[in-house]
């Protein structure tokens, strides 16, 4: 079988986001990614070419023993400081269940490590796109209605009013500000009756 022709970098870059979405976000296999690229994008790399490109882009789904030891150590260190941790691999957050499984599988002390007085901390992986950080705050869901707060009601009324300045320049601005205050007060009193 003749060797596959090389694919230009521009062609790879054109489909980089698609490959990232398929391989990392949708967690598809290499076989599925190749099939989709061929079917929908008329792009036909070999499996070896795709693997090489994924490695160049640092798109990875798996971690080695040293990576898991680093993650376990970082989570433990952050927990001692009272911080929660979220782990990202290739920009994709790992599920807590997968983290617990990986840490329990790889983060044990060997007999040699137990015999040593001081075990060095595992180094941060340099070639692995790995991040351990504090999770972002979740959106707040308000348990009560906020659309009936008097101030918001008065703002809606004021926005609905169309105050037009008369052509008579002898009328002062204070007249309009007083009527605006009266309409806010009236709206506030009405809202108080309904509460």
pLDDT averaged per 10 residues in sequence order, the chain, 195 residues: 78 96 94 96 95 94 92 92 93 93 85 67 84 78 61 62 51 51 66 62
Question: How confident is the model at residue 50, as a pLDDT?
Answer: 96
Question: How confident is the model at residue 117, as a pLDDT?
Answer: 65
Question: How confident is the model at residue 127, as a pLDDT?
Answer: 80
∠ at Cα 28 (69, 74), nearest 5°? 15
Task: Fill in the DSSP letter of residue 39.
Answer: H
Count of domains in the chain? 3
Contact 146, 152 (CB under 8 A): yes
Q: Give the span between the Cα atoms of 68 and 76, in whole angstroms.
A: 12
In a domain, 128, yes or no: yes
Contact 188, 154 (CB under 8 A): yes
Q: In terms of domains, do 105 and 158 share one?
A: no
Question: β-strand 86-89 against 130-133: which pairing, if any?
Answer: antiparallel
Question: How confident is the model at residue 9, as a pLDDT?
Answer: 94
Question: How confident is the model at residue 179, as a pLDDT?
Answer: 58
Q: How far is CA 3 from CA 48, 76, 126, in A?
A: 11, 49, 33
In a domain, 159, yes or no: yes
Q: In terms of domains, do 52 and 99 share one?
A: no
Q: Find residue 92's DSSP bridge partners.
A: 89
In a domain, 142, yes or no: no
Q: In terms of domains, do 75 and 126 share one?
A: yes
Question: How confident is the model at residue 88, as a pLDDT?
Answer: 94
In a domain, 34, yes or no: yes
Q: In terms of domains, do 96 and 75 share one?
A: yes
Domain extent, residue 159, equals 150-194
In the chain, how long is the greatest CA-to-CA distance? 95
Question: How confident is the model at residue 142, as a pLDDT?
Answer: 55
Q: In terms of domains, do 77 and 53 share one?
A: no
In a domain, 139, yes or no: no
Q: In terms of domains, do 74 and 120 share one?
A: yes
In a domain, 1, yes or no: no
Q: Which value, in Å, is the radius of gyration of the alpha carbons in the chain? A: 31
At 150, list the tokens.
């008097």
In a domain, 13, yes or no: yes
Question: How confident is the model at residue 46, as a pLDDT?
Answer: 95
Question: How confident is the model at residue 75, as a pLDDT?
Answer: 92
Q: In terms of domains, do 76 and 104 share one?
A: yes
């Amino acid at each position: 079988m003749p060797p596959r022709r090389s694919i230009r970098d521009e062609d790879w870059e054109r489909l980089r986001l698609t490959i990232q979405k398929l391989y990392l976000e949708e967690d598809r296999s290499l076989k599925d990614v190749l099939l989709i690229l061929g079917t929908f994008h008329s792009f036909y790399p070999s499996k070896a070419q795709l693997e090489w490109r994924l490695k160049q882009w640092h798109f990875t789904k798996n971690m080695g023993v040293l990576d898991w030891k680093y993650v376990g150590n970082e989570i433990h260190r952050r927990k001692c400081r009272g911080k929660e941790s979220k782990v990202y691999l290739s920009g994709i957050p790992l599920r807590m269940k997968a983290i617990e499984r990986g840490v329990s599988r790889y983060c044990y002390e060997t007999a040699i490590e137990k015999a040593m007085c001081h075990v060095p901390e595992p180094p941060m992986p340099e070639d692995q796109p790995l991040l351990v950080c504090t999770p972002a705050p979740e959106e707040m869901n308000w348990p009560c209605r906020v659309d009936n707060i008097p101030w918001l009601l008065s703002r809606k009324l004021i926005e609905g009013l169309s105050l037009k300045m008369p052509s008579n320049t002898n009328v002062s601005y204070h007249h309009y500000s007083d009527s605006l205050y009266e309409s806010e007060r009236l709206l506030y009193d009405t809202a108080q009756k309904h509460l």
